[in-house]
Structure 1
């Protein structure tokens, strides 16, 4: 008998299936091995074995009927349904096929413009098999998914989001890890992939305490032939002769249920505790805060991003998948787009956020991918305080920030970050531009150099780091003070968490490169030497021409946050938590690794104009 090389299975919580389905003596499902799974065999034959299978777990109360997505258009898929039993476990298999039409990609149309009448025309119609295998065991429902389109038939809101990763952590421990994927809980979430050349312990992977672990691949303790890959799902890979057959499959489901409930992971992966899922009651209250922010258009602590890694070179996004009507394609996502998508923000509800989809658009295929989408709710990142705790919404779930972790960040900002009052000579500068109808920190930087001509303006400078592009700035203003200390000034408007985060990241990146990159250092010196600074020679004498002689202790890094002088001055305590953590990371690195003399934070009042523009319909 041919062997099944790969399969995908989901586990769903359920109270049980009340009506016993009729038994079927023989089942056969064949799936294209090129990108899907193959299941073949009969209950009366020698059992086919699986080398790989993936399980999902859904929430309590889900049945074989309710797990199906109401928006999946199952009636149009001509589904064939079969019911049978494996030992005491009820099973249901649902099979359907999908068809896709591919025509000329954009690059071929581009070529056709220059090859005359002999245009090349490409057209391909492909059919692919898909299947759902539902398994009910120990009053819990599993769903095996075969084919690329099968997952879209399931209601993903009914699946446990952490089943796979918790089970993998409990069964594998932290000593035989092969791969991890984590997400930094910053205002711009970053997916971080790590892979070791051989199975290693978690220390080798260097997981940060603020990274939300999303995926782990590791060997089961004591069994190097079996690898578990855990995320929201749990994938089992078996090498050798001990592959899964039908009876082993049921036993595995029962074992994973038991290990999912274990709490070994708490001691093995302590950073995973920093972000814990909230209760249903708290989730409802927190959702109310989210809706209020959207209705009032308060995006200061809100971001919109896909909850997984996608290459920007390959994908864009659309809020629709219209076959006949035009789809609007966005090269990137931002929360302000929701005002157009929902038209009336006063009518936004959690239900509408969950039902509205964001689709991936493939540039290579020149089409919206109907099978690759996320709900808007799953793409929102938001943070707020409630009941004395701090919460973050990420990837469609609210998590409570561990109080000790939260306290460590707050205490660091309170005791270690040096906040000083701004000097009088640059207070209340007007940064409004009546031509572009915008407020710009570039105007502030230019005014600084105008007032103090001994400063060097690096804002909008085009410098190179290493062999990279020549588009780097170093800082906004470089200032050799009267006391002989040089300060590296980075300025940004204090308007939302994104701008704050950008300031901290920019300061860390450029300041480190200044001390370690020969090309960058040389370009900085050349820029100063060719500029109008009244103290060029003093700057060039201070900044040594070689990296070995340039030391962080001779420089102060300044972070200037520009705020509207018509309002109250902010303080470091009011910075959003995720931006505070970015500040902590930057501060630790520049002080402990780069050895800069000081890191000083200032809130600088500036004059801001609130521009409005009317446009005829």
Structure 2
């Protein structure tokens, strides 16, 4: 390879496990494979869903198939590896690629250099962009240790600064707020919510990276018994710019996001319709109390459906938190990180999708008030209905769009697009949260 110096490790069996992970070219095998297989001759794929709670999936096809048959959500799925039938001369049969490239070949030792040169040119090719795989560059997990160290240092500087505008707290798992009531850190103080300010009050304003990776956030149930804990590091969400690139920290992992993709996601959220439905300020501790209060304030307009599940196939589904006489499904959530909002958006999607089912609507009518019944016809017109995602957040003005983490915007874009495809109207409602925890008046700094 003229003017190019590359070292290839040709491994057999488990020999690759002896290599240091940070010396391997990231996505070498993935790109080489995508540039050499037919888009309609794929055998299996491994994906990681870019949610606040990532899910790893391997999807296999019983026969060679197109990429669309694997039901990938290009907005949220990170392609980790792919297997398929090679379509070009030097490679044949089934090949697989992630960071490493897995192939079978009859080349002799003397022919290996030419063969590896060809594999390198496949890796450098942009052919994959032209056959429908251009989306794989939208979000990439960072594995470079030196880059992670630089980003962690930038995170630490932002965390210890007086104005932390680019980092938030984000509970790293979807938790049941019906049974999990509060949080505890170092002192005996109990908090109904978590924030950067609370962490600093408890642990101090000058933490080291080791501190935020070792110090814990504990989740308590209604009896104030600890049921789960995470490191402070895992509870931080960051959206940082470093050397002209956009990086996100989510659940303890760093990701690089393509700038054009960032702009598209941000613009989609900024263009989302803002609902003007009347709601109260969020002056209650939990969503149950808030939803009850709203429906009492507007009894002719709203019907309370919070925790009144419709059972479908044995599974409890929440119709919505509040249903309006104007055919609006209102889903309410107190902001507490990406996992909570992703769950909110998915809940709205599942409810709307099941609304087409007559039996589901009949069951819902048993729970709805007399003036709020939905049609029990075989078909319904989705365009007559609206799905409203109401997000409660501190210091929101009336009519203000709530600012949410990037991954939450990704989830909203994906769910909103699907709902609109069905015909539903979709909007966002910001709610000013005025409730304050009386227990967080004193925090202790660790010595």
TM-score > 0.5 by shorter chain: yes
Within a 5 Å distance, the mapping from 1:399-438 to structure 2 comes to: 399-415=255-271, 417-421=272-276, 423=278, 426-431=279-284
Partner of residue 230, structure 1: 97
Q: CA deviation at 1:441?
A: 1.3
Instruction: Classify the secondary structure of the residue corresponding to 1:430.
Output: coil
Partner of residue 220, structure 1: 86
The CA distance in 2 between the partners of 1:615 and 1:378, in whole Å, is: 21
Instruction: Classify the secondary structure of the residue corresponding to 1:553.
Output: helix
Instruction: Classify the secondary structure of the residue corresponding to 1:590.
Output: helix
Cα deviation digits, residues 192-239 of structure 1 (max 9, x gap): 443333223434445443232211101121469521111122222x4x
For this pair of structures, how many residues does the alignment match?
A: 389
Partner of residue 606, structure 1: 433
Cα deviation digits, residues 154-209 of structure 1 (max 9, x gap): 43233223122122122325342211222232323333443333223434445443
Partner of residue 348, structure 2: 507
Confirm or deny that 1:347 pairs with 2:185.
Answer: no
Q: CA deviation at 1:293?
A: 6.4
Partner of residue 468, structure 1: 314
Cα deviation digits, residues 515-544 of structure 1 (max 9, x gap): 23x33222211122xxxx4xx1x323xx12
Cα deviation digits, residues 331-376 of structure 1 (max 9, x gap): xxxx99xx9xxx99923259x97x9xxxxxxxxxxxxxxxxxxxx9
The CA distance in 2 between the partners of 1:208 and 1:404, in whole Å, is: 18
Partner of residue 30, structure 1: none
> Aligned to 1:198, which of 40, 50, 63?
63
Quick check: which one's helix share is greater?
Answer: 2
Asked if the contact 1:385–1:391 (Cα under 8 Å) also holds between the matched residues in 2, the reply is yes
Q: Which runs of 5+ in 2 are unaligned?
A: 174-194, 215-231
Q: CA deviation at 1:394?
A: 7.3
In structure 2, the CA distance between the partners of 1:468 and 1:408, relative to structure 1 (3 Å rule), is: same
> Aligned to 2:372, which of 509, 516, 539?
539
Relative contact order higher in (CA < 8 Å, ≥ 6 apart): 2
In structure 2, the CA distance between the partners of 1:173 and 1:611, relative to structure 1 (3 Å rule), is: farther
In structure 2, the CA distance between the partners of 1:398 and 1:248, relative to structure 1 (3 Å rule), is: farther
Instruction: Classify the secondary structure of the residue corresponding to 1:510.
Output: helix
The CA distance in 1 between the partners of 2:150 and 2:20, in whole Å, is: 23
In structure 2, the CA distance between the partners of 1:154 and 1:573, relative to structure 1 (3 Å rule), is: same
In structure 2, the CA distance between the partners of 1:399 and 1:447, relative to structure 1 (3 Å rule), is: closer
The CA distance in 1 between the partners of 2:78 and 2:331, in whole Å, is: 29
Asked if the contact 2:44–2:83 (Cα under 8 Å) also holds between the matched residues in 1, the reply is yes
Partner of residue 228, structure 2: none
The CA distance in 2 between the partners of 1:606 and 1:494, in whole Å, is: 9
Partner of residue 51, structure 2: 186
Instruction: Classify the secondary structure of the residue corresponding to 1:478.
Output: strand
Confirm or deny that 1:560 pairs with 2:390.
Answer: yes
Cα deviation digits, residues 114-143 of structure 1 (max 9, x gap): xxxxxxxxxxxxxxxxxxxxxxxx862526
The CA distance in 2 between the partners of 1:389 and 1:141, in whole Å, is: 29
In structure 2, the CA distance between the partners of 1:569 and 1:160, relative to structure 1 (3 Å rule), is: farther
Q: Which runs of 5+ in 1 are unaligned?
A: 1-59, 61-137, 306-334, 356-375, 432-438
In structure 2, the CA distance between the partners of 1:396 and 1:583, relative to structure 1 (3 Å rule), is: closer
Asked if the contact 2:342–2:408 (Cα under 8 Å) also holds between the matched residues in 1, the reply is yes
In structure 2, the CA distance between the partners of 1:447 and 1:145, relative to structure 1 (3 Å rule), is: farther
In structure 2, the CA distance between the partners of 1:251 and 1:348, relative to structure 1 (3 Å rule), is: same
Asked if the contact 2:171–2:338 (Cα under 8 Å) also holds between the matched residues in 1, the reply is no
TM-score (norm 1): 0.54
Within a 5 Å distance, the mapping from 1:229-268 to structure 2 comes to: 229-236=96-103, 238=104, 253=116, 255-268=118-131
Q: CA deviation at 1:252?
A: 5.0
Q: CA RMSD in A?
A: 4.2
Confirm or deny that 1:172 pairs with 2:33.
Answer: no
Q: CA deviation at 1:395?
A: 10
> Aligned to 2:11, which of 132, 141, 144?
144
More displaced, 405-414 or 288-297? 288-297
Asked if the contact 1:181–1:192 (Cα under 8 Å) also holds between the matched residues in 2, the reply is yes
More displaced, 395-404 or 158-167? 395-404
Confirm or deny that 1:524 pairs with 2:364.
Answer: yes
Within a 5 Å distance, the mapping from 1:452-467 to structure 2 comes to: 452-454=298-300, 455-465=302-312, 467=313
Partner of residue 247, structure 2: 391
TM-score (norm 2): 0.72
